[in-house]
Every structure is written in structure tokens, then in C-alpha cells.
Amino acid sequence: MAEKTSLHPAQLDYEKQKRKEEMKQQVITFALMIIFTIIAFSMVIAELNKLFVIPVIFVLAAVQVGFQLYYFMHMSHKGHEMPAFMLYGGVFAAFLTILALAALVWW
Amino acid sequence: MSTMVANNKRSFGSTLWDYLTTVDHKKIAILYLVAGGFFFIIGGLEALAIRWQLVKPMNDFVSAGLYNELITMHGTTMIFLAAMPLIFAFMNAVVPLQIGARDVAFPFLNSLGFWLFLFGGIMLNVGWITGGAADAGWTAYAPLSTTSPGEGVDYYVLGLQISGAGTLIGGINFLVTIVNMRAPGMTYMRMPLFTWTAFVASALILFAFPALTVGLFLMMFDRLFGSGFFDPNMGGNSVIWQHLFWIFGHPEVYILALPAFGIFSEIISTFSRKRLFGYSAMVFATVLIGFLGFMVWAHHMFTVGMGPAANSIFAVATMAIAIPTGIKIFNWLFTLWGGNIQINTPMLWSLGFIPTFTLGGMTGVMVAAASADYQFHDSYFVVAHFHYVIVGGVVFALFAATHYWWPKMFGKILNDTLGKVTFWLFFIGFHLTFFIQHFLGLMGMPRRYWVFLEDQGLDLGNAISTTGAFLMGLGTIVLLYNIVVTSVKGEKVGSDPWDARTLEWAIPSPPPFYNFKQLPLVRGLDPLWIEKTEGRKGMTPAEPISDIHMPNNSFLPFVMSLGFFIAGFGFIYQKYDLVWLSLVFIGMGIALGAMLMRSVKDDLGYHIHKEDLVKEAKE
């Protein structure tokens, strides 16, 4: 990181601030993910209605994937528009496939 | 570099070795062109055999079984082994040049993609000499395919699996190349339309081919290892194959057609001496077609019994595709309007394409109407429709691109008179063959039947159709003759023989192996044209002359592909005798060993030094 030394002090402060902010977000999401996992497990242990538990677990899982991608794999940073576009394209194609097979074949 | 001079005086052996190990996108383009051309001729001969069988009622030129193999292999060969690789040939030859890159992002993978395709293609055709090729139609619907005796369909499954992996690798490679390797100033909205369509087509490959891979794996297990994914008796469902096949199969149509649209956009703009009309609308239409292409696959299955709700949804989505396609047709017409039009061979193909493809699109909307499709389905009307789209769209584009980019690839212009002869023979032959088939289909002639009865109103139409097919064959022979004559006698041309607009024409023909000595600075759409209108001869460089990093050649892609090829035979023949499993181990051993070697051995490439580049410029 050779450029770092040449940074203006104000710029350096700003960078530090941003890193700190990011660290905070990561800790929060990490805590949230652990809580989500505990919720998921406790719902199964409590033997709640299946029709309720399964969709909720799916939603929690989807949110966790989002956390993983955006906060831990830095997709929230700039310059990730194309990977995001491709990712959502793939999700879209896979969703259509599963939806159609579910609705037309297995239902 | 002195290697360029040495190139001309090499022995046959060293040239062969060079092509077997090359990672240069321009040489891989030539490999794709030769291999795709070879399979195009094989598929064409199969088509001629089909048409000769149907020249008169109750003909006995081929047996019913052989006829089934011919139609299956004609379709499979033309789509997977001719059209796709030829599209890849031009993508390889042109896209890196159009975006101002020195090569694709992953040169090694580029080579691997080609060799996987070639070995997969050979595998598909091995069936011919071991007692019968695939005979379940190019769509290989279960249970016909899962119960077809012999190894024909096994070759289809394994061959497509191997070549499909190659295609997937190629698609990913172009995505990464176009995202990451554009020259300074080459924003997305300055990319030439061929690059744009190659980009969207690559994204379609990325999303569509996995469905085929899954389908083929299930089929492989059903046929070779006794599973029952498509067997209702074992709790499976044969319709799943149709869904998986068409989830891949319909985007496949756009994977072929979009680059074809790109090719025509380049040609029409160049020879009308105008920038493409409605560039941003064209880009929008391309992306929209890509998206809609994923929502329409079930229109191939209207008669399966999905129910009226599903049929209506897919019918409406299908008709919606006519809108972006219409945008494109009108934009081409407006590009021509008021242009300084020069009619030569590439332009003739483009002008022939517009009405032909429009006809194919019209019948497309007709077959998209689900209720009417019950009448059209599995009749010659559908055969006529998709040949209008795929020949009238894709094959015309490939012929046009061959004539348009030949000087860039080989440094010589194909003879224009012979080119026009090819066009007229092929164009007239094409319409003779397929126009009449609309009516044959409406009169009730079903697809895929090896004979038809006398005096049912089908005799004359079929005879006309066969005549046309042979005219197309003749046109192709003239093209081959043209290529030979041009290679022997043709004169060398400069970098920009067409007075064209895009970056590939800013560098010598054929380009040096490092493409751009200095990466060009792109200042707008049609960058070369901008420089020319401002009185400059070439592009303004974006960087000083400096060392160029190049990848080393490698034989490993060939070895890996050979390994998978050998393993394929093992997978097929182990169903008779488990001894054949040894081939699986040998083949996979070779492939995995080559992968291991690639992983542990650092290959950092080499540099062309600045001094050599400067010296070469002075010579």
C-alpha cells in the first residue's frame, strides 16, 4: 500500500472513519446472522407448524445470503454493478426454472 | 519481433504444433472457422440426403432408421457443431479487436473451450461408424431417447456434454473479456453492436447451458446407470426433459441470432456510410431479447398439455419478443435510408436477410398463438419457420461475416463476383426449399416422416424443395472455390479495405499477434470513423510504447479434452462390460493429471520488449 503514505491527512481521517463504519456494520450483521440461526434452530426444536416454519427459514436464509454478499463479500462497495447484474440475472433464470417446474410438472 | 517473419517459412509440422498449442484468439478463431465449416458441410450433406429421400413419394434412398439418424444428426450438427462454433469463430476474431484488447481475458481457457467443442463434436459423430448415430431427433425427447437401442443417443449425450462444457467456458471468457478488457474510453455505450450482442449472447450461454448440462446428466444416468428420472414407471416424469431441454434450447436460438444481428448491424452501417440508426435502442432491444428469451421456452410444448393458463402466458411472452425484434428491423431500414449504399457481397447477404428474417418472425408469431399451434405443431410449417429464422438469420449472417471479416482474418478480400454468385444461388435455393414447406405443412405433411404417399398434393412441393436444397449446396461449393482461389491468387489488402468504422480496422490485416502496439484511445461510438473524419489516419494511442505481456502456448487444453473424450467411451461401453470402466479411469486420469499440472506449474508468460516493437516499426 504505497499510496497510503501520500494521502492527505483529511483523506486519511475519512478513510479511517469509513473503515470503522464498515467494521461496525460487519459486527452487526454477524450478530444478526447468529441470531437468525438461533431462531431457525429454536423454531424447529419448538416443533411449530411446518407450514409456518419452512417459509420463515427460507426467508431467513435469503436474508443471510444477502448479508454475506453485501457486507462480507463487499458487494455494497462501488464497482460491483456488473457482478450484481449477472448474479440477479442468474437468480432470475433459476427462479423461473424452478417456478415453472413446480407449477407445471410437480404441482 | 522476428517470429513474424519466421511464421511464413515454417514447416507443416511446426505450423500444426503451433495451432495445437495456440492460445492466440485470432488463431483459435481460425480453428473454430475450419472446424465449424467442416461440420457445416457434414450437416449440409445430411440435409441433402434428407431432401433426396423426399424428392418423390415412397422413395427408398435411405431406410427409415437411417433417415431418423440423418434428421437427428443434421439438427444437432448444424446447431451445436456448425452455427455455434462459427459464431464463436467471429467472436474470437473480432470482439477483442473491437474493444481494443490484446487478447481475451483467459487465453488458456479459450483454447480449452475450442478443443472440448471439437472432441465433443467428433464424439457425436463416432456413432456413424460404430453401428448407428443418435436417432431420437435433435431434441432427444424421452422416452424415445431413453429407450433408443444401441449407443447412438449415448454418443449424443456424452458428445454434447463435452462440447457444451467448451461452449460454457467460451461464454464466460467473453463475459469477463468484455467487462474488464475494454480500451481506455471504450464505455459500454460506445461498444460496437457486434460486441454488445456477443456480450448478451455470452450471458445467455452462462444461464442457459447449465440447464442442458443438468438434462444431459439425468439422461446419461437414465441410459447408462439405470436411474429413472424420465421414466414414469419408476416415479420419474418424461416432460421434465422437455422443460430442461427447452429452458436451454430457446435461449440457444438467441445465442445464435443475437450475434447474427450484431454482424448485420456492423455491415449495414459500414456500407451505408452512416452510423447505426438508433444505437441505444438497438442495445436496449438486444438486452430485452436476452431477458425475454428466458420466459418463452414452453412455447415449444403447447401440445404437451400444460393447460390453457400456462399456454396463454407463454404465448403472450413469445409475441412480446416481436417488439424488440421489430425495433431492430426498423433501425436497420433507417440506417439504410439516405445512406451512401454500396452493394457488395456482405451487403447483399444483409439486404437478403431483412425480408427473409421478417418472414421467419411473422410465422413465429403465428406459431406462438397457442391455439393455432395445435394445427402447426410437428408439421412442415414449423420446419419452414425455424429454417427461415436460423438459416435466414444466422447462416446468412455467417456468410456475410465470412466475406466482411475475411480480409481482417487473412489479409485478402474474397472475390466479390464469386461472392455474389454464392449469394444468389444460396438465396434462391433457400427460398425454393423452405417457402413451399409452409404450404406442405398447412396441407398436413408431418415432420420427421421418412416417406410420404403419392397424389396427396405433396409431390410437386417436395420436388421443388429438393431442387432448392441442391442450389444451396451449389452456392456453398462456389464459396469453397472462392476461398481456394482467393488464398492462391488474391491480393494483399491494407488495414481498412472497407473504409469501415470500428477499431478492428485500425490495425494491420491480419493483425500482429499482440494486436495493438499501443492501446487506442476511444473517443466515441465508431472510434476509427471519428479519427478519420478529423483527418487522422489511425487511432490516437492511449499509452506510450512499452513492454507487452503475452501468454505462453500450451498443449494442455488438447490433452485435457482428449482425456474427457477417452473417458466418454468408457462411460458408454461400461453398460455392456465393466472392463470398459478402465477407459473412464485412464481418460479422467489424463484430464485430471493435465489440470494438476496446470495448477502446480507457474506459467507467467513472456514479454515483448519495447525495443523490439520500435525496431519492428522501423523495418
Per-residue model confidence as pLDDT tens digits over B559-595: 999 999 999 999 999 999 999 999 999 999 999 999 9
Let me know whether A69 and A103 are in one domain. no
Q: Is the pTM of this model over 0.80?
A: yes
pLDDT for position B3 = 46
Give the list of residues 6+ apart from residue B319 with CB closer than 8 angstroms, or none. Answer: B365, B368, B369
Spatial distance between the Cα atoms of A7 and A20, rounded to a whole number of angstroms: 18
Substitution target from A97, A98, A106 for chain B, most B beta carbons within 10 A: A97
Inter-chain CB proximity B310 and A90 less than 8 Å: no
CB contact under 8 A, B179 and A82: yes
pLDDT tens-digit series, residues B289-316 = 999 998 899 999 999 988 899 999 999 9
A-B contacts at Cβ under 8 angstroms: 33
DSSP state of B177: H
Q: B499: distance to nearest CA of chain A, Å? A: 34
Q: What is the DSSP letter of B521?
A: P
Q: Judge whether B239 is closer than 8 Å to chain A, CB to CB.
A: yes
A107 band by pLDDT with thresholds 50, 70 and 90: confident
Confidence at residue B424, expressed as pLDDT on a 0 to 100 scale: 97
Tell whether A52 and A97 lie within a shared domain.
Answer: no
B307 vs chain A: nearest CA distance in angstroms? 9
Indicate whether A58 and A45 sit together in one domain.
yes
- Here the ipTM equals 0.70
CA distance B550 to B606: 5
Looking at residue B8, its pLDDT comes to 56
DSSP string spanning A31-51? HHHHHHHHHHHHHHHTT--HH
pLDDT category of residue A2 using cuts at 50, 70 and 90 = very low
Confidence (pLDDT) at B619: 67
CB proximity list for B6: less than 8 A, separation 6 or greater: none
CA distance linking residue B438 with residue B14, whole number of Å: 51
Asked if residue A60 and residue A36 are part of one domain, the reply reads yes
pLDDT at B116: 97
pLDDT at B57 over 50: yes
- Chain A hits for B307, CB-CB cut-off 8 Å, are 104
Smallest Cβ distance to B243: which of A82, A90, A105? A105
Q: Do A86 and B310 touch (CB under 8 A)?
A: no
Mean pLDDT of B509-535: 94
Contact B298 A86 (CB under 8 A): no
Residue B554 identity (one-letter amino acid): S
Per-residue pLDDT reduced to its tens digit, B77-117 = 999 999 999 999 999 999 999 999 999 999 999 999 999 99
CA distance B56 to B288: 44
Tell me how far apart the alpha carbons of residues B347 and B344 are, in angstroms, rounded to a whole number. 5
Q: B197 and B261 in contact (C-beta within 8 Å)? A: yes
Domain B22-554+603-618 bears CATH identifier 1.25.40.340 = no
State the CB neighbour count (10 A cutoff) for residue B472.
25
**Residues of chain A with C-beta less than 8 angstroms from the C-beta of B207:** 89-90, 93
Instruction: Note the pLDDT of residue B612.
Output: 87
List pLDDT tens digits, range B248-287.
Answer: 999 999 999 999 999 999 999 999 999 999 999 999 999 9
DSSP string, B16-69: HHHHHH---HHHHHHHHHHHHHHHHHHHHHHHHHHHHHTSSTT--SS-HHHHHH
Domain match, A20 and A59 both: yes
* Res. A1 pLDDT band, cuts 50 70 90: very low
Report pLDDT digits (tens) over B142-188: 999 999 999 999 999 999 999 999 999 999 999 999 999 999 999 99
The answer to whether residue B618 scores a pLDDT higher than 80 is no
Asked if residue B412 has pLDDT above 70, the reply is yes
> Would the CB atoms of B203 and A89 count as touching at under 8 Å?
yes
Position B6 scores a pLDDT of 47
Of B206, B295, B310, the CB nearest to A104: B310
Residue B75 has φ and ψ, to the nearest 5°, of: -65, -50
Sort out which chain B residues have CB atoms less than 8 A from A93's CB and list them.
Answer: 207-208, 294
For every residue of B324-381, DSSP letters joined together read HHHHHHHHHHHHHTT------HHHHHHHHHHHHHHHHHHHHHHHHSHHHHHHHTTBHH
Domain identity same for A25 and A71:
yes
Name which of B175, B208, B298 is nearest A100 (Cβ-Cβ).
Answer: B298
Q: How confident is the model at residue B4 (pLDDT cuts 50, 70, 90)?
A: very low
> What's the pLDDT score for residue B2?
41
Residue B334, all three cell numbers: 433507417
Residue B603 pLDDT: 86
A94 and A107 inside one domain: yes
Q: Identify the pLDDT of residue B468.
A: 97
Asked if A70 and A29 sit in the same domain, the reply is yes
State whether A103 and A52 are in the same domain. Answer: no
Cell numbers at residue B35, please? 472446424
Does B71 contact A at CB distance below 8 Å? no
Grid cell for residue B231: 421414466
> From the list B175, B203, B239, which residue is nearest A105 (CB)?
B239
Instruction: Report the distance separating Cα B570 and Cα B123, nearest Å.
Output: 12
Domain count, chain A: 2
Q: List Cβ neighbours of B161 (8 Å cut-off, separation of 6 or more).
A: B120, B213, B216, B217, B220, B568
Predicted pLDDT of residue A105 = 81
Element (H, E) at B615: helix B610-618
Question: Quick one: which of B579, B512, B506 has its CA closest to B550?
Answer: B512
Question: Taking residues B8-20, what's their average pLDDT?
Answer: 86
Question: How far apart are alpha carbons A17 and B453 in whole angstroms?
Answer: 84
For the stretch A13-47, pLDDT in tens is 888 888 888 889 889 999 999 999 999 999 999 98
Residue among B17, B28, B166, B108 at smallest CA distance from B598: B108
Q: Which domain holds residue A102?
A: 78-107
Same domain, A67 and A25: yes
Q: Is residue A91 domain-shared with residue A64, that is, in the same domain?
A: no
What is the rounded CA–CA span in Å between residue B380 and residue B388?
Answer: 12
Domain match, A59 and A69 both: yes
CA angle B143, B377, B327 (to 5 degrees): 120
User: What residue ranges do the domains of chain B occupy?
Assistant: 22-554+603-618
